């Protein structure tokens, strides 16, 4: 950090994606990613988590259906509050 008054921040970062194809026309996908970002409210840093889900289904060669969703939350280092977005 540029500010010497801020404490050091460490975190284990990871990314994971799982695909499951129960048939040739249906696909399920889930993912979890982490990132370290600038802190808020006097905290040196925060760890950001993102969970993604996707479902895709091909009805026929002209029609496909897809739905996806995402949830994000942030945890401040040094035991800060959990913030959902």
Query: Alpha-carbon distance 17 to 22, whole Å?
Result: 16
Q: Which one has a higher pLDDT value, 13 or 65?
A: 65
Is residue 46 within 8 Å of residue 80, measured between CB atoms?
A: yes
pLDDT for 32-77, tens place per residue?
999 988 766 666 678 889 999 999 999 999 999 999 999 998 887 7
Residue 2 has pLDDT above 50, yes or no: yes
Predicted model pTM: 0.71
What is the per-residue pLDDT for 44?
A: 66
Q: 């996806």: which residue's tokens?
A: 68
pLDDT of res. 40: 64
């Amino acid at each position: 950090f540029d500010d010497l008054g801020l404490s050091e921040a460490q975190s284990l970062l990871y990314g994971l994606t799982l695909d499951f194809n129960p048939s040739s026309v249906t696909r399920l996908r889930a993912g979890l990613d982490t990132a370290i970002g600038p802190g808020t409210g006097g905290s040196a840093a925060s760890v950001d988590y993102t969970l993604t889900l996707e479902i895709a289904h091909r009805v026929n060669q002209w029609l496909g259906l897809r739905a996806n969703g995402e949830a994000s939350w942030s945890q401040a280092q040094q035991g800060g509050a959990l913030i959902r977005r």
